[in-house]
Amino acid sequence: MRNGGSTLRKLTGVLGTLLALSLVAAACGGDDSSTSGGTAGTSAGTNGSSPTTEESGAVGTTVATTGEAAESISIVLGSEPTSLDPHLVDDGGERAVNNNIYETLLFRTADGVLEPGLAVALPTQVDELTWEFSLREGVTFHDGTPFDSAAVVASIERMVRLIGAETTDNAGYFSPLARAEAVDPMTVRVLTSAPDGLLPSRMNWLRIVSADAAASDDITDAPNGTGPYRFVSREVGVAIELERNDAYWGAEPDVDAITFGFVPEAGTRIAGVQSGAYDLMVNLSANDREAVPNAAQVAGIEHPILILNTVEGITADVKVRQALNLAVDKQAIVDAIYGGGATVDAGQVLSETILGFNDSLEAFPYDPDQAKQLLEEAGVAGQTIQIIGESGRWVNDGDLLEAVASYWTAAGLQVDLQILEFSEWLDVFFDTESQPDVLFVSTSLDLLDPDKAATSIHSMNGLASGNDDAELAAMIDEARSELDANRRDELYQQIMASANEKAYFVWLVNTADIYGLGDRVTWTPRIDGLLLVKEMSVSG
């Protein structure tokens, strides 16, 4: 590593300065709930660059490249990783860091196309339950251990073990996995418990660890992948440092070292980008595009949604659930809170480009009078409804929750809105024993497929489901095991329609991914939302 230590010292030293700078940033919005500044649908910065927004793809920023390439960059996230074990948690902060350390059998291009990664080709399907991968030779882990079929088998069987022990948050991604077997040192077969047409996409998501590491129940303290960056250090609450892996099998990255910082408040992140303390920030509001030197945007995979408890409490009545949808002016939220950097969800959590999107569904209209009438008919007017949420993990999440609470109050309910720290919110999200009236989550289509959203929040067997609908769960299980893409599409359309008819959620918006960049970094965001530093370039 050449410059990583100085980057950490620089980041640590500016934290106090950022507190003062955040006062300046308050004029730009203050936190993730900012609604001031900027022009909807534009990207403009102090250097005058203004890339246009494309609904279907990515928009990069073009920055003048003068002088020698810089050696290190600093990236600020909205939440700190809860673990650096790539198999234990389902955590956006963890992925942002670990996707630069660990790799997968298959990669995706920036626009979402599957291609070979640690495998040299897309898999061959041996039978309905078996897929065969040929592996890339000459790859080593950061500690020098060779990559081979033993590592792949150990990684898959570790995930299966963690799912069985209920110690991983990733069951929604990988529960169809059964086992793996080595054919030879560079060939592996992956077996599923049922036919699984999504297996190739799952292998784009499962990070491969060494066989020795896979024997441990928790490897958060010793990240060791095959990726372009190596783990250097972690100071909890402050920063994580990575350095370039000079033995990397792929193309040499332009960036030599990375420091990840963690700041929940958007205003402070903006101030850091303005001052040069940070080179890239996540979760920039469209309203704050003009507050940073440059902004880059891509159509996002995040769908903030409210999961309703249909089993007990005030939300067990479908009339109440319908009223909660009718009471919220979602287009006003898009305009006022997201500055146009989002679109209204069409009564489902799928984007139009995702298999299973049901084009016969529409967003619940904004009809506050009808909402009040339904609440009266249900006999709950004036009663208390609880919302559990958080602020800082997703763009504008705090403001979104405040707006929903305001709309429901206007409809005649007493709203108990509880904004928790992210770690506390995770405890609620993964608590399968109890369910609040309303749980906020932003569900993402990480696999560019409906499977995870269906299994985790639609199915009664999901980690964060609010319903006990056995018929819907059976339909979801059938869709997961279907190999024919056309039949899967039909099934997921039916699943989305069933959830809509019974108002299992309050559907809100699909947010764009917008990033704030300083003058040194050039990068085109990815449609899958991954932060891959090897795709970034820097200038002095």
Instruction: Please state, in angstroms and rounded to a whole number, the distance separating the CA atoms of residues 506 and 389.
Output: 14
Q: What is the CATH number of domain 106-214?
A: 3.90.76.10
Residue 38 has pLDDT above 80, yes or no: no
Highest mean pLDDT among 10-14, 16-20, 205-209, 266-270: 205-209
Residue 58 has pLDDT above 50, yes or no: no
| pLDDT tens digits, 206-225 | 999 999 999 999 999 999 99
Residue 57 has pLDDT above 60, yes or no: no
Provide the residue type at 43 as one letter: S
Which position has the higher pLDDT, 466 or 31? 466
Mean pLDDT of 154-170: 95
Under 8 Å between Cβ of 455 and 198: no
Tokens of 159: 């995930």
Residue 37 has pLDDT above 50, yes or no: no
Mean pLDDT of 237-243: 96
Under 8 Å between Cβ of 411 and 402: no
Helices H / strands E in the chain, number of each: 15, 21
| pLDDT tens digits, 83-125 | 999 999 988 899 999 999 999 999 999 999 999 999 999 999 9
Tokens of 238: 């402050």
pLDDT of residue 64: 32
Residue 35 has pLDDT above 70, yes or no: no
Look up the pTM and report it.
0.77
Residue 10 has pLDDT above 90, yes or no: no
Q: Grade residue 144 by pLDDT with cuts at 50, 70 and 90.
A: very high
Instruction: Please state, in angstroms and rounded to a whole number, the distance separating the CA atoms of residues 148 and 118.
Output: 9
**From 3.10.105.10, 3.30.70.3270, 3.30.1490.20, 3.20.20.10, which CATH number describes the 300-511 domain?**
3.10.105.10
Q: Grade residue 540 by pLDDT with cuts at 50, 70 and 90.
A: low
Distance, C-alpha 168 to centroid of its chain: 17
Residue 191 has pLDDT above 60, yes or no: yes
Output the furthest CA–CA distance in the chain (Å, rounded): 69
Choice among 142-151, 173-182, 288-297, 392-401 with the minimum mean pLDDT: 392-401
Give the CATH superfamily of 4-99+227-298+513-538: Periplasmic binding protein-like II (3.40.190.10)
Q: What are the φ and ψ backbone dihedral angles of 123, each rounded to 5 degrees?
A: -70, 155
Is residue 255 exposed (0-12), middle (13-18) or buried (19+ Cβ within 10 Å)?
buried
Percent of the chain with pLDDT over 90: 76
Q: Grade residue 393 by pLDDT with cuts at 50, 70 and 90.
A: confident
Residue 45 has pLDDT above 90, yes or no: no
pLDDT of residue 250: 97
Residue 16 has pLDDT above 70, yes or no: no
Residue entry with tokens 């007493």: 414
Is residue 105 exposed (0-12), middle (13-18) or buried (19+ Cβ within 10 Å)?
buried
| pLDDT tens digits, 245-275 | 999 999 999 999 999 999 989 899 999 999 9
Q: Grade residue 290 by pLDDT with cuts at 50, 70 and 90.
A: very high
Q: Grade residue 71 by pLDDT with cuts at 50, 70 and 90.
A: confident
Q: Report domain extents, the chain.
A: 4-99+227-298+513-538, 106-214, 300-511
Q: Grade residue 192 by pLDDT with cuts at 50, 70 and 90.
A: very high
